[in-house]
Amino acid sequence: MTKFSDLNLNPKVLKAVDEAGYETPTPIQAGAIPSALEGKDVLGIAQTGTGKTASFTLPMITLLARGRARARMPRSLVLCPTRELAAQVAENFDTYTKHLKLTKALLIGGVSFKEQEALIDRGVDVLIATPGRLLDHFERGKLLLTGVQIMVVDEADRMLDMGFIPDIERIFSLTPFTRQTLFFSATMAPEIERITNTFLSAPARVEIARQATTSENIEQFAVMFKASRRDREGSEKRKVLRALLDQEGDGCTNAIVFCNRKTDVDIVAKSLKKYGYDAAPIHGDLDQSQRMKTLEGFREGSLRILVASDVAARGLDVPSVSHVFNYDVPGHPEDYVHRIGRTGRAGRKGKAFTICSPKDEKALDAVENLVKRQIARHENPVKPAPKTTKAKTKPETEEKPLRESKPRVSSKSSETSKPRESNKPRESSKSSKRSSGRRDDRNVVGMGDHLPSFIALSFAERRAG
């Protein structure tokens, strides 16, 4: 087995690695570090959780330990798809450079240009950036990329998903062609293949088996769920999620709940909080300081449940998550691999539950094809309410609407006629008028079958009448 001391790393880097408590290099480290130290391009096919960050930071630091940075001309560049990932890479640099005098700057949105420019002006050895912010700085004329000797592209497939590939190509073209490139992606989509063929020169290819196909530490379950009515889908699904959390009880020390849409991230987090769960949302539309604070709380253990979108959570290094809940089946099966890879890390046991409604069954099939296993079906912990006569049916008031919506009193948009999540009859004149033909089928729970006809009239109709 390879040891860190066999890898030719700078002794001060080795000391920091030792202090970080790492005993042996992970496969991606053992595979990538020697080639990177020889100055070769590296194509690493590995995802987060495999130790890939250290697989590029350790050789970079070793190579940069000699030499000095010049003003506005960073010596190396690390591109990350999200701010959180960039911040995490920056933390890694701090850890491993603690015995060396290397400087770094982090260029991410949400931080003032001035502060960042001051750092660049002084000269940095390592620049860690998201592509958009880097190009903003470049266009302001404050940054030159002609001194870049090593360039890292991290999570390239996520860059592709986020539409950053044109930016990446432009950045490549702004750096010297003699640079060394270390390129990481969890998957090799054709577009990624094209980029690597264009910009990498005879790279050493290091491929690490996908986590989901190898990690036996994660127990995976799918909970098939069908809403009793379409307009109750949201509230009933959140109920399933709460029931799963309750069922897991204390065994669920901390969890990430993934939603496909940002709006659902907000709604689910709000709903959980309302029901007394310790939860907070994280997605790209939240401001930077709030995202950082939430993440910090989750890492420290002061926040138990992180409700996240794929992009925000991608690459986050949060050790020892006991559970992952997929509120939706992800649209891209690879995202399932990334999501559940948040649990069952470093030899620990983890559990992943995926709530699957009928419309998501195809997506679940795609996941099962990718991970080459049948995901065990888990009984829906929410039992359907026993069928009783209408008069006896209790109104389902378990959840008030949680939409961010402002009161849509006079809105004419089709949204107005969307059913609400609670059973309260709507008072929108438009929708009532439009649906007046269906008035008789309206299920006004708790009023018995004899509904006084004025109840079914809208305000406007009542006023008019």
User: Judged by CB under 6 A, which of 44, 49, 131, 350 binds ligand AMP?
Assistant: 49
Which one, 50 or 76, has the nearer CB to ligand AMP? 50
Beta strands in 225-311 (DSSP E): 255-258, 279-282, 305-308
CB of 355 to ligand AMP, least distance (A): 27
Q: How many CB atoms lie within 10 A of CB 426?
A: 17
22 touches ligand AMP by CB under 6 A: yes
52 touches ligand AMP by CB under 6 A: yes
CA 286 to chain centre: 13
51 touches ligand AMP by CB under 6 A: yes
User: Judged by CB under 6 A, which of 33, 54, 86, 126 binds ligand AMP?
Assistant: 54
344 touches ligand AMP by CB under 6 A: no
Residue 439 phi, psi (nearest 5)? -50, -40
Which 157-216 residues touch ligand AMP, going by CB under 6 A?
none
Query: DSSP assignment of 356-425, as one string?
Result: E-GGGHHHHHHHHHHHTSPPEEE--SSPPPPP--GGGPPP--S------PPP-SS--SGGGGSPPSS-PP
Please answer whether residues 52 and 46 qualify as being in contact, where contact means their C-beta atoms are separated by less than 8 angstroms: yes
Distance CA 392, CA 320 (A): 47
Please answer whether residues 343 and 257 qualify as being in contact, where contact means their C-beta atoms are separated by less than 8 angstroms: no
Which 420-459 residues touch ligand AMP, going by CB under 6 A?
none
User: Judged by CB under 6 A, which of 10, 35, 53, 458 binds ligand AMP?
Assistant: 53
Q: How far is CA 162 from CA 131, 132, 195, 287, 289, in A?
A: 11, 11, 15, 18, 21
337 touches ligand AMP by CB under 6 A: no
Distance CA 193, CA 198 (A): 9
Which one, 19 or 246, has the nearer CB to ligand AMP? 19
User: Judged by CB under 6 A, which of 48, 82, 343, 458 binds ligand AMP?
Assistant: 48
- For β-strands 150-153 and 104-107, DSSP reports them as unpaired
330 touches ligand AMP by CB under 6 A: no
Beta strands in 195-296 (DSSP E): 204-207, 218-224, 255-258, 279-282
97 touches ligand AMP by CB under 6 A: no
89 touches ligand AMP by CB under 6 A: no
Distance CA 362, CA 78 (A): 37
User: Judged by CB under 6 A, which of 10, 26, 322, 357 binds ligand AMP?
Assistant: 26
Distance CA 258, CA 272 (A): 13
Please answer whether residues 282 and 294 qualify as being in contact, where contact means their C-beta atoms are separated by less than 8 angstroms: yes
Q: Which stretch binds ligand AMP (CB under 6 A): 25-33, 150-158, 398-406, 418-426?
A: 25-33
CB of 30 to ligand AMP, least distance (A): 9
Number of residues that bind ligand AMP (CB under 6 A): 13
Which one, 56 or 199, has the nearer CB to ligand AMP? 56
**Which residue has tokens 């290099």?**
25
Q: Which of 258, 246, 298 is nearest to 88 (CA)?
A: 298
C-alpha atoms less than 13 angstroms from C-alpha of 14 in its C-beta half-sphere: 9
317 touches ligand AMP by CB under 6 A: yes
CB of 310 to ligand AMP, least distance (A): 16
Q: Which stretch binds ligand AMP (CB under 6 A): 42-50, 118-126, 231-239, 325-333?
A: 42-50
Which one, 321 or 356, has the nearer CB to ligand AMP? 321
50 touches ligand AMP by CB under 6 A: yes
CB of 201 to ligand AMP, least distance (A): 25
CB of 291 to ligand AMP, least distance (A): 18
CB of 53 to ligand AMP, least distance (A): 3
Which 232-251 residues touch ligand AMP, going by CB under 6 A?
none
Q: Which stretch binds ligand AMP (CB under 6 A): 45-53, 179-187, 229-237, 428-436?
A: 45-53
Interface residues with ligand AMP (CB under 6 A) are: 22, 25-26, 29, 48-54, 317, 319
